[in-house]
Amino acid sequence: MSLTKQEALELFRSDDLIGIGMAADAVRRKLHPEGVVTYIIDRNINYTNLCTEYCTFCAFYAPIKGPGRAKGYVLEFDEIYAKIQETVEFGGTGVLMQGGLHPDLKLDWYEAMLRGIKQRFPQVHLHCFSASEIIHVAELNGLSIRDTIARLRDAGLDSIPGGGAEILDDEVRHKVARLKCLTEDWLNVHRTAHSLGMRTTATMMFGVGETLEHRVNHFQHVYDLQQETGGFTAFIPWTFQPKNTALGGRGWDEATSVEYLKTLAIARIFLSNIENVQSSWVTQGLKVCQMGLRFGGNDVGSVMLEENVVRAAGTTNCTTEEELRHIIRDAGFRPAQRDTLYTKFFLN
């Protein structure tokens, strides 16, 4: 059973960090009694950074007009194949591909890329394109969301990441990403993907000036959709990284570790219908990520051979498979490599 919104707000307002962590740990233990904490080996490939949206929290994009356009790029397919080849050689099982909302890349470009990858690497799981990218491609091609996802799936897309959710409350979205898709649009992409039999993840980027009520509204939207479809494999919260962003330039401080752990734990308790919750080393560093395993997290995400979006915002935490296995073991769990859908585990 989930929390009510009111109960979640009371937890946010409580100072009992350890008590909240223990309650989240109890939910984690119930869902994962075997004491295994997972990770994946994959790579984030950002096929383009050119973007029409100008989100105030983003340090990654190159604008499509003005002098900033010079730092824009679109990867050649051969560059993408070479990155995937390297990932496979490193023991990677999947690729997370996301990009800016490029004004000219049509659906056939995406289809050709996915087909080219699957021809060369049929075993690699393609976890690609946030809801905002899918909406953008659908609009650019005059297609429905359903037809767009179905065509991407037929070309090789296996699942969809939760990027672009930020905070699922339009009051916040209007302030920090006024051109980006709205809450209902994000939910609709995921609902449609689930109805086509495709699994997706749900994310939350917090610490952008939202209220606690906004965070709880986000949890409720994700919870409700999961009740409806059961299509989310995992919930992945992380904190806004302010460096080099317009929002950060307004003097924004990053959410503290206590705020991160408390939000992670309340998410774990609230989203009792989602099996996996990820603790983030990319934004929090290894030590807080490790503590997150006692605040509800049962997964530490990816070893990640490449990551550009958080790095652009000045956060340069890095790790190895051995380091991740070490922090997992040291927190009292057995480490296991998993696949993108959390269905295959390799205990070694």
Minimum distance between the CB of residue 164 and ligand SF4, rounded to whole angstroms? 7
Structure tokens at 160: 């969809």
Instruction: Name the residues that contact ligand SF4, by CB under 6 A.
Output: 51, 53-55, 58, 60-61, 100-101, 132, 177, 180
Minimum separation from the CB atom of position 13 to ligand SF4 (A): 30
Closer to ligand SF4 by Cβ: residue 136 or 338:
136
Give the nearest distance from C-beta 190 to ligand SF4 in angstroms. Answer: 17
Query: Is 289 annotated as belonging to a binding site?
Result: no
Check whether 57 is labelled as a binding-site residue.
Answer: yes
Question: In which residue are the tokens 């100072």 written?
Answer: 15
Positive or negative torsion for Cα 136, 141, 143, 147: negative
The pair of structure tokens assigned to 185 is 């649009």
Closest to ligand SF4 by CB, 164 vs 231, is 164
Q: Would you say 58 is a known binding-site residue?
A: yes
What phi and psi, each to the nearest 5 degrees, are found at residue 160?
-125, 130
Residue in 285, 347, 312, 291 with CA at minimum distance from that of residue 57 = 312
51 marked among binding-site residues:
yes
Q: Could you tell me the smallest distance in angstroms from the CB atom of residue 150 to ligand SF4?
A: 23
Per-position DSSP letters for 72-91, written without gaps between them: --B--HHHHHHHHHHHHHTT
Which residue, 12 or 73, is less far from ligand SF4 as judged by CB?
73
- Work out how close the CB of 300 gets to ligand SF4 at its nearest, in angstroms, rounded to a whole number: 23
Complex with ligand SF4: residue 53 or 299, whichever CB lies closer: 53
| Residue whose CB is less far from ligand SF4, 56 or 290 | 56
Asked if residue 159 lies in contact with residue 340, where contact means CB atoms within 8 angstroms, the answer is yes
219 is in an annotated binding site: no
Q: Would you say 166 is a known binding-site residue?
A: yes
Asked if residue 135 lies in contact with residue 189, where contact means CB atoms within 8 angstroms, the answer is yes
CA angle 85, 90, 96 (to 5 degrees): 65
- Residues placed in the known binding site for (3R)-3-methyl-D-ornithine: 130, 280, 302
